[in-house]
Amino acid sequence: MVEHALPPEVRDLVRRKLRNMEEIEVLLLLAASGRAMSVDEICAGLRIPTSGLPQTSIERLIASELIESAPNGTTPHYRYAPGTADLRKAVTLLAASYNERPVSLVRLVYHRDESASSFT
């Protein structure tokens, strides 16, 4: 199976904490930036319209202890902030997988979605 091409930490992170490629891309952008970013900056970094990033993606990443809100004036900002060393390691491996095995990663995300929807 294609997903076995990915490290187990990545498979577990995607299954437990990340619902779609948008969340993965937001997470990896924030992790790579090393700074707090506004939604406008995140959208610019991902090259999507400002209205293209649902707030639910940000909220899920915060709830998953992968990013946090970073006060910065009146505009909300967000920064990479994994809650544990294991999450930090998994995100590092996720970044490598995103660059080295993007098709396997996309298949893992969408295969999981197909499997979950077949039970509803």
Q: What is the pTM of this model?
A: 0.88
Q: pLDDT band at residue 96, thresholds of 50, 70 and 90?
A: very high
Residue 116, pLDDT above cutoff 80:
no
What's the mean per-residue pLDDT of the chain? 89
CATH architecture, domain 2-117: Orthogonal Bundle (1.10)
The predicted-structure confidence for 1-56, as pLDDT tens digits, reads as follows 455 689 999 999 999 999 999 999 999 999 999 999 999 999 999 999 988 888 89
- In this prediction, residue 27 carries a pLDDT of 98
The CA distance from 70 to 81, in Å, is 10
Helix locations, 34-101, DSSP H: 39-46, 55-63, 85-100
Question: Which one, of 74, 94, 81, lies nearest residue 36 by Cα?
Answer: 81
Q: Residue 111: what pLDDT?
A: 84
What residues does each domain of the chain span? Answer: 2-117
Q: pLDDT by residue (tens digit) across 44-82? A: 999 999 888 888 999 999 999 999 999 877 889 999 999
> Can you give the pLDDT at residue 3?
53
